[in-house]
Amino acid sequence: MSPIDTNLKNQVALVTGGSQGIGAATAVTLAEAGASVLITYNRSESKAMDVLKEIEQRGSRCMALPLDLRDEGSIRSMASQAKDHFGRIDIFVNNAAVGSASVAQLHKPRKGRPGHGGTQRPGNPPVC
């Protein structure tokens, strides 16, 4: 069996909730493997800046952006800035909203979307 290639040079990773805890550790690990990293934060800008500095000290490019996953405009703004700065996203780590209401629970199904017939059983979050 061949070893797993952990060289992420020339890859761009997005880590939501990357300002602290598991998200910060994941972002730093991806940077150590050579990836450029975009981290998002909701309330912890100063912690995000600490993680950004740590990643840059390891020789990787990093960007930290605010993101409120409940706000479509915030998501679009983050995506636009990420595209302008990095050009693409190769790796996505969805770490945000851990320990609070998840995005799936807050999601309001739109009529006409595949898989969202507008009906669901009470108590079951919609599939996104």
Helix, strand counts (H, E) of the chain: 4, 4
Q: Which domains does the chain have, with CATH numbers?
A: 12-96 (3.40.50.720)
Confidence check: pLDDT of 105 > 60: no
Share of the chain above pLDDT 90, in %: 65
Does this model's pTM top 0.75? My answer is no
Look at residues 62, 7, 8 and name the one whose alpha carbon lies nearest to residue 35: 8
Return the pLDDT at 50.
97
| pLDDT tens-digit readout, 21-80 | 999 999 999 999 999 999 999 988 999 999 999 999 999 999 999 999 889 999 999 999
The whole-angstrom separation of Cα 89 and Cα 78 is 12
End-to-end Cα separation, the chain, in angstroms: 36
Q: Are 18 and 27 in contact (CB under 8 A)?
A: yes
